Amino acid sequence: MADSSSSSSDSASYIRMVQHLIEKCLIFHMTKEECMEAISKNANINPIITSTGMYM
């Protein structure tokens, strides 16, 4: 069974990485859609991770 502190640390690291990528998009004045596409294409991160809003 996985160590919960390791899993928590991995999650926090992933969130920080995504945040950093979004901040890079902001520096380049990219729209939300451009940012989602760039991160999806270049970092292979599912666009639902970088989008906001409710999904049902």
User: Phi, psi (5° rounding) for residue 20?
Assistant: -60, -45
Q: Do the domain assignments include residue 53?
A: no
Separation between Cα atoms, residue 34 and residue 25, nearest integer Å: 8
Q: Do the domain assignments include residue 30?
A: yes
What is the extent of the structural domain holding 28?
A: 13-42
Domain count for the chain, please give it.
1
Residue-level pLDDT at 56: 43
Q: Do the domain assignments include residue 8?
A: no
- pLDDT tens column, 1-56: 455 667 888 989 999 999 999 999 999 999 999 999 999 999 999 998 888 755 44
Q: Quick one: tokens of 7? A: 């899993």
Q: Quick one: tokens of 43? A: 């970092």
Residue-level pLDDT at 17: 94
Q: Do the domain assignments include residue 24?
A: yes
Q: Do the domain assignments include residue 20?
A: yes
Q: Do the domain assignments include residue 4?
A: no
In one-letter notation, the amino acid at residue 17 is M
pTM, to two decimals: 0.76
Q: Do the domain assignments include residue 49?
A: no
Q: Do the domain assignments include residue 6?
A: no
